[in-house]
Structure 1
């Protein structure tokens, strides 16, 4: 498994185990960089330490913040789907690279980690 692949696998294990998802932000909100494929992504991390590393790399007053897994799954992810955003997963390294997935892919991987039924495209944009 590649470094990015192992980071993605760790992401789902850790957020389910800890019941929390981390992101970085400042007073204006969170960065939503453009990926190598040209999509806009909202990156998330599975631990405060990982998010802090990202905040340190990006600089500009960013700091780690957390959200409950339930709120992320049922509120934030559907909103990202509505906006057409990808979801960055445990980006690492000096250029913060890694996997980015569609919201449906994230919901399906999360369902697998939680042992739930997979989601469809239509279900991703509805708040549960």
Structure 2
């Protein structure tokens, strides 16, 4: 990351860029798909975002680090929570997302689809409960 220095803005956005799996580079090295961030009227840093598939791998690795062990070692309930979180982040809109998640969790694609169905059933039940509460209230 040459040419950026210790700019306070760069320091402030670095954790976000790292969490997304992005790369920071000088604004004059930005390509057409990079995002140039400006502060107080000046271009400060360019961010090169990863491809969606790379982002999913990055998210899975971060989730494993947060839990302190490989995702495949989690119990069923924890794996369902991982799928719920990934579904909310749009992970399954990525090509081969289900396969990638299944591999990380150490389960079959069929199991991931079952977890997704379970998540959707829970949401539907919660919505029905909210509607009943509004009708009763």
TM-score, length of structure 2 as denominator length: 0.29
Question: For the pair shown, which has the larger CA radius of gyration, 1 or 2?
Answer: 2
| Structure with greater proportional helix content | 2
Which structure's relative contact order is higher, taking Cα pairs within 8 Å and 6+ residues apart? 1
Q: TM-score, normalised to structure 1's length?
A: 0.30
More strand by share: 1
